[in-house]
Structure 1
Amino acid sequence: MNITITLTDSASKFIINNLYPLYLHDLSEIWGTIPNLYGVFEEDETQTLQEQNKVFDIWWEKAGILYPYLIKENDIPVGFALVATPPYTPSACEFYLNEFFILRPFRGKGLAEYAAKEVFKLHLGNWELQTNPTDTNRRAQHFWRKTLKEYTGDSYLEECGKSYDDELKMIFTFNNQLELSNP
């Protein structure tokens, strides 16, 4: 496995933009969402993927605050991780895993776990990530429990509650500063 995690810039953002509709399609199974009248997974009247992509320009306009990482295996794009810092985080965390996605053909091989842990290592401090708490999302819940247990030595918190967007979420929090700064 030759996995790389690279911070994208405005010249390479199109790769994450290409992967994003596949991510939304996967999420539709979990959240029960459907595309709008134009075939785009958005609740508004967005007509094209190009229009949809404009929403994500902020990820490349806020360098040092928002971190759009591309995940590759053997130079093939296989997913992305979008990491936010304040003011784009829920309160009490320094780093928020806003989105994390791995293409289906690359799942179940340890790649996602490796990539998530490598992204965490890039930013030391208080972390939060959230996922859907329902039975339709058991695979992701299991993935995060297993990955965080291994990464933190079982030193993470998990709770089900309303998130910053007032939706019920499974919320995971941990601090990786002590674990990684002490060899």
Structure 2
Amino acid sequence: MTATLSKIMIDEKHILQNLYSLYLHDLSEYTDGLDISPNGSFEFDSFDAIWEGEGMTPYFLKVEDTIVGFLLLLERPFLKKEYDFCINDIFILKKYRRKGYPVQFLQELFSQKKGKYFIIELVKNEPAVLFWKKIYQKLNIKFEEQNKNFDGDDCLIQTFEI
């Protein structure tokens, strides 16, 4: 099956908003900084900013024509000049995890977007930490890692160049 990235258009933002709620629900297990809103969903507080300026590009992750997740890529001018890209968020529906699709999605991204990357993960989010370590191994990416505290959460920052 073919796994591809598809840039999300503004008329599809409601789909991304639904996926973000699922993603933030999963992430809430690892941080006290996320709570359900009064309307019963988890909300990304800067969601509308994705379409308001330059430097944030959302992609659907698709297998054949089925949306199985999303990726939010940050780039210049949104980022400081020491980095070209940040994979800010990546989410894959549980049904499609552990099937090799992330490697295909990231290979496509890295073939299109070459430069210096950074990734930030919550230390408590062991599945994400393991996910990225496996990605680096499978794609033969040499990375540097450091610990840092953001908003009261211990995080890992990994940097690498493609």
TM-score above 0.5: yes
Partner Cα separation in structure 2 for residue 60 and residue 154 of structure 1: 31
Note if 1:172 corresponds to 2:162: no
Kindly indicate which of the two structures has a greater share of residues assigned to strand.
2
Gaps of 5+ in 1: 43-51, 177-183
Listed as ranges, the matches of 1:103-142 within 5 Å are: 103-134=93-124, 137-142=125-130
Listed as ranges, the matches of 1:18-167 within 5 Å are: 18-32=18-32, 33-42=34-43, 55-63=46-54, 65-89=55-79, 92-134=82-124, 137-151=125-139, 153-163=140-150, 167=153
Gaps of 5+ in 2: none
What is the CA-CA distance between 1:61 and the residue it aligns to?
3.0
Q: How many residues align?
A: 161
1:90-113: CA deviations, max 9, x gaps? 662110111111011000111122
Identity %: 32
Partner Cα separation in structure 1 for residue 157 and residue 134 of structure 2: 14
Kindly indicate which of the two structures has a greater share of residues assigned to helix.
1
Seen in structure 2, the aligned counterparts of structure 1 residues 90 and 13 have a Cα distance that, compared at 3 Å, is same
The Cα RMSD (Å) is: 2.2
Seen in structure 2, the aligned counterparts of structure 1 residues 133 and 82 have a Cα distance that, compared at 3 Å, is same
State TM-score, norm by structure 2: 0.86
Moved over 3 A (4+): none
Seen in structure 2, the aligned counterparts of structure 1 residues 89 and 122 have a Cα distance that, compared at 3 Å, is same
1:54-87: CA deviations, max 9, x gaps? x423222335x22111111121110111111134
In the other structure, the counterpart of 2:9 is 9
Partner Cα separation in structure 1 for residue 148 and residue 38 of structure 2: 32
Conserved? CA contact 2:57–2:72, under 8 Å: yes
Partner Cα separation in structure 2 for residue 35 and residue 12 of structure 1: 23
Conserved? CA contact 1:79–1:101, under 8 Å: yes
For the pair shown, the structure with the greater C-alpha radius of gyration is 1
Conserved? CA contact 1:3–1:73, under 8 Å: yes
Aligned amino acid, residue 2 of structure 1: T
Conserved? CA contact 1:72–1:79, under 8 Å: yes
What is the CA-CA distance between 1:131 and the residue it aligns to?
0.6
Partner Cα separation in structure 2 for residue 112 and residue 128 of structure 1: 17
Aligned amino acid, residue 139 of structure 1: P
What is the CA-CA distance between 1:123 and the residue it aligns to?
1.1
